[in-house]
Structure 1
Amino acid sequence: MPTLADTAPTCVVRGLSFDALATALARGRATVFTLNMMHMRLLARDPDFRESYRQASIVTLDSNLINTVFLRRRMTVATGSDLVRHLAARRSLRDRSVLVIGNVTAEEAASVMASRRLDVLRPPFGFIRDPGAVEAVIARVRDLAPDVVFIAVGAPQSEMLALRLRRAGLVAPSILACGAAFEFLLGKQTRSPAVLRRTGLEWAWRLASNPRRLAGRYASDAGFLLSMLGPLTRLARSGALKVGGLQLQFRQEAGLGAKLGRGALGAG
């Protein structure tokens, strides 16, 4: 008889180079999410958030804590902030049209990302709960027809908007859910020192920098981590973790297959 692990939808969390990710985004049709502890907690409790992950074509690991403590540093960690920094430094999208959805101005976004054409859309706070506001965003994306969309409105709004854009038939542009990446690159928020990032302690720096905003989130993340401690301690050996009926498989990979930009269940 098949077990839940055999029948559960699978999401592959890929350890990929920034160059491979940049190529996928520039090629089009890629949906890129970056998995961290908060995302895992949302996957466990929110069916809609799980559905957004099922439609993503590429999921990277955005947690030095998971990589250092539970995967024994076997994976390449690719955070949204570092990926956007790489795209900016390499001018990877200079020949593409770009749309940034988030709380930045057009001038600020243009100072970060070189592109053929750059537009900015600033939806109202909490827009994802307003069907009319979501439809307005979708209509604007359709009118602009960008090659690449950066969604920088935080989880779970970024991932849910990506799902709704795809469901609305917007399949051509690449989408990167990148959280606070532009705020970090613009100096509105400060990244932790590199040594803390490498050792999985970036969360402590961020908590100390903004305890009022992050204390509740990190307390919830810590509670979830403790509830998953058994499976997490077996992660290095098994390479797999079941969260909310979604099977996560962690793989270090050298490159991307030709079909990854199209998006499919099980592609990650």
Structure 2
Amino acid sequence: MKVDICGVEIDRCTFDKAVETIISYALSANEPRYVVTPNAQHILLLQENTRFCEVYEKAFLVVADGVPLVWASKFLGRSLPGRVNGTDLFERLCQEAAKHELKVFLLGGRPGSAKGSAQVLQQKHPGLKIVDTYCPPYSFETDSAEIALINEKIRAATPHLLFVALGAPKQEYWIYDNYQEIEVPISIGIGASFEFVSGMIPRAPLWMQKSGLEWFFRLVSEPKRLWQRYILGNPHFMWLVFKQRLGVLRSN
């Protein structure tokens, strides 16, 4: 079952069900697929970005990363069961990967963040097989030789799970353009998760995460980088949801 928020179809599944679905598919070693984790920023991009829409249409699983999406679903009378936060999903999937002997590859993040995350996660979950990490250079997506190198690294490592931390929509574009070639069962874009897990960037206290104020903590922590996303983006998202409630926004 899916929930329509501003024309974007989101899978109505709990955090535990998302983990179970992803791990089960990774264990089956079927054709490569990918997961997207929309937040309010994604919803805004999807209103006018046809390429991003195509990425979403082909996704294996679409799970609500942001608390505002859960609030919006309740306001619209189509309640999502809860948030499937990307960083929490990353950590939990690595925990399950260790139990099931699945191999993991970390791509992207700020320099040092992927390796730092690997160290933290392997300390927490002995036996976790992080087969490789790689931080590509800036603007690598325009360099065909660099893309070929990355793809070869991933294919050689044969991971079951690929976590891509390049920011949206860059990470989703890269996954969409390359997931069939790299042949990883499940690829997931996870934004700044490597920085959070490695401790490079502090994450909001748990009470702020649960109350939907993690965005405010991030804004205060990195105002120059994030002010447009939150100060301008959040009200725009709220307006789109209100228009959908009134029936004047196209709904799939």
Place the TM-score, normalised by the shorter chain, in its bin.
0.7 to 0.9
Cα offset, 1:92, TM superposition: 4.2
**Unpaired segments of 5 or more residues in structure 1?**
248-268
Distance 1:218 1:96, change over 3 A: same
In 2, the alpha carbon distance for the partners of 1:120 and 1:55 equals 26
Residue type at the aligned position of 2:151: I
- The alignment status of 1:83 with 2:89, answered yes or no, reads yes
In 2, the alpha carbon distance for the partners of 1:98 and 1:219 equals 36
8 Å CA contact retained: 2:15, 2:82: yes
- Alignment partner, residue 224 of structure 1: 236
Query: Could you report, residue by residue, the CA deviation over 1:63-84 in whole angstroms, capped at 9, with x for unpaired residues?
Result: 1122125425642210110112
Query: Could you report, residue by residue, the CA deviation over 1:32-78 in whole angstroms, capped at 9, with x for unpaired residues?
Result: 11110111122122222112212210111011122125425642210
- Alignment partner, residue 64 of structure 2: 61
Instruction: Name the structure, 1 or 2, with higher relative contact order (CA <8 Å, separation 6+).
Output: 1
Residue type at the aligned position of 2:64: L
Cα offset, 1:225, TM superposition: 1.4
1:124 pairs, out of 137, 143, 146, with: 137
Matched residue SS, 1:45: coil
Distance 1:202 1:116, change over 3 A: closer
**Unpaired segments of 5 or more residues in structure 2?**
none
Matches within 5 A, 1:252-263: none
Cα offset, 1:227, TM superposition: 4.4
Q: Please, what is the CA RMSD of the aligned residues?
A: 2.9
Matches within 5 A, 1:72-151: 74-90=80-96, 92=98, 95-103=101-109, 104-106=113-115, 108-113=117-122, 114=125, 115-151=128-164
Q: TM-score, normalised by structure 2?
A: 0.78
Cα offset, 1:136, TM superposition: 2.9
- Alignment partner, residue 153 of structure 1: 166
Q: TM-score, normalised by structure 1?
A: 0.74
Matched residue SS, 1:61: coil
Cα offset, 1:97, TM superposition: 1.7
Greater fraction helix = 2
8 Å CA contact retained: 1:65, 1:201: no
